[in-house]
A and B are shown apart, each in its own frame.
Chain A
Amino acid sequence: MITGANAVIRTAEPDDGAFLKAFYDPALPRSCLLDQRRELIVPTLDEVREVLAQKEQGRSVFYAVEDLEGQVRGFCSLRGLNQEAGYSEFIVILVDDADFGRPLATEVFEFLTRRAFYDVRLNKVMTHALGCEAAYRAYLLRHGFKSDGVQREAVFTLGRWHDLEAFTLFRSDVPSLAVEAVCP
């Protein structure tokens, strides 16, 4: 468990399943919850619990993000590790879009990038944002992610097509971590 000045980050448990399931809201599509085919899915509670119970495998650990009052504010993860090419998918989902502009979200960013670039020693992390995820997009750009481009009309939901933008953050884009990474 990591206790920061604004957030507590801990490994998510199957008991967090109901809270995570609430994020699979067809009215508020989130890019990081799309499946491999980029389809919006609505899993059962058991399926969500199963995902959260996979922490022993260590490849796609979900972390719960709590505020200092102990309320779960969202989840974060590094998943889909590609060891050979040295990258992983970066995921942050927060219940309130306004949280992306708060120090809590900055602590989540620092936690994940430290895990990715210092602990796992990745070369880059990647993530996506749908056109309707303006707060998440702004959060990524504010923290140094750069756009790789936009996949046009890639997702269909709510009666229309949505574009899907890809973002990458390289270790060299995070100066403080780049210095640390060369130290054994």
Chain B
Amino acid sequence: MPIKTKTFIRRAEREDLDTVVAWMEDPDFVEFLYGDPARSPKQIRERIVAMLGRTASQTVPGSVYLIIDSEDEGPIGLLSLQNISWRNRSCSLDVYLGHKKARNHLVGAIAFYRTMQYCFEELNLHRITAYIYSFNRASWSIMEKVGAMRELTLREHVARDGKLHDVYCYGLLRREFEAFREANPKLVAGVMESMMERQSEEARES
């Protein structure tokens, strides 16, 4: 069945700062963040300010931050493309769903699908890498559903609450993404249709 959605991605703006900071103060959200959990709120805020303050003036940016937005709910998550290599045509991807209502497979899968489209069809990348905690089953199962391969299992790689946890590294190549699209034409058509509807609405409004 085709999926129609009002979810879309856009570049992160400075106006998104308060929303993102609020997510960062939610322990349920922070648990899945990659990096040092002991960072202070000040450090987190400074990092986000620096991140959102970056402009597109660089012709070959090393990182891109996108907001997952929804017509109904407003900003619901953050997508981060890091370590973009224009030589290897690769990047590493982090998807954070901040809005509690949005933490479900469908929103995550749609956001991820849109990001893949952006990476492969706009940035012309060859490969996406995602490092995901082993206990974040919701995230890595989305990766598997869209055809990404679990390439590495990094045992005892991250410390959380006094315990060491494994980290999985997923890799998705452009040809695998294209194969996924060919195998799921109805689903893709639904997502495309809703995107086109949104663009038409925007054109009418402007």
Chain A residues within an 8 Å CB radius of B164: 85-86, 123
Nearest-Cβ distance from residue A122 to partner chain B, whole angstroms: 11
Interface residues in B113-156 (C-beta closer than 8 Å to A): 126-127, 129, 149-156
Other-chain contact of A124, B84, B151, B152, B156 (Cβ < 8 Å): B156
Docked complex Cα distance between A56 and B120 (Å): 43
Docked complex Cα distance between A153 and B171 (Å): 9
Docked complex Cα distance between A94 and B167 (Å): 30
* A141 at interface, CB cutoff 8 A: no
Nearest-Cβ distance from residue A1 to partner chain B, whole angstroms: 33
Taking a contact as CB atoms under 8 Å apart, the answer to whether A166 and B83 are in contact is no
- Secondary structure type dominating chain B contacts: strand
Whether A153 touches B154, Cβ cut-off 8 Å, given contacts A38-B90, A39-B85, is no
Other-chain contact of B173, A124, A150, A152, A157 (Cβ < 8 Å): A152
* A93 at interface, CB cutoff 8 A: no
* A149 at interface, CB cutoff 8 A: yes
Nearest-Cβ distance from residue B16 to partner chain A, whole angstroms: 26
Taking a contact as CB atoms under 8 Å apart, the answer to whether A39 and B155 are in contact is no
* A154 at interface, CB cutoff 8 A: yes
Interface size class, chain B? 20 to 34
- Secondary structure type dominating chain A contacts: strand
Docked complex Cα distance between A40 and B87 (Å): 9
Whether A85 touches B158, Cβ cut-off 8 Å, given contacts A149-B169, A152-B149, is yes
Chain B residues within an 8 Å CB radius of A161: 126
Docked complex Cα distance between A39 and B159 (Å): 28
Contact with B along A144-180 (1 / 0, CB 8 A): 0000111111111100010000101010000000000
Chain B residues within an 8 Å CB radius of A153: 126-127, 173
* Most chain B CB atoms below 10 A, which of A38, A86, A150: A38
Chain B residues within an 8 Å CB radius of A40: 87
Other-chain contact of A151, B62, B89, B169 (Cβ < 8 Å): B169
Taking a contact as CB atoms under 8 Å apart, the answer to whether A85 and B171 are in contact is no
Other-chain contact of B156, A123, A155, A156 (Cβ < 8 Å): A123
Interface residues in A1-44 (C-beta closer than 8 Å to B): 36-40
Taking a contact as CB atoms under 8 Å apart, the answer to whether A85 and B85 are in contact is no
* A84 at interface, CB cutoff 8 A: yes
Other-chain contact of B85, A37, A126, A148, A166 (Cβ < 8 Å): A37
Contact with A along B24-38 (1 / 0, CB 8 A): 000000000000100
Whether A151 touches B84, Cβ cut-off 8 Å, given contacts A84-B159, A166-B154, is no
Interface residues in B46-65 (C-beta closer than 8 Å to A): 62
Q: A interface vs B, CB < 8 Å?
A: 36-40, 84-87, 123-124, 126, 148-157, 161, 166, 168, 170
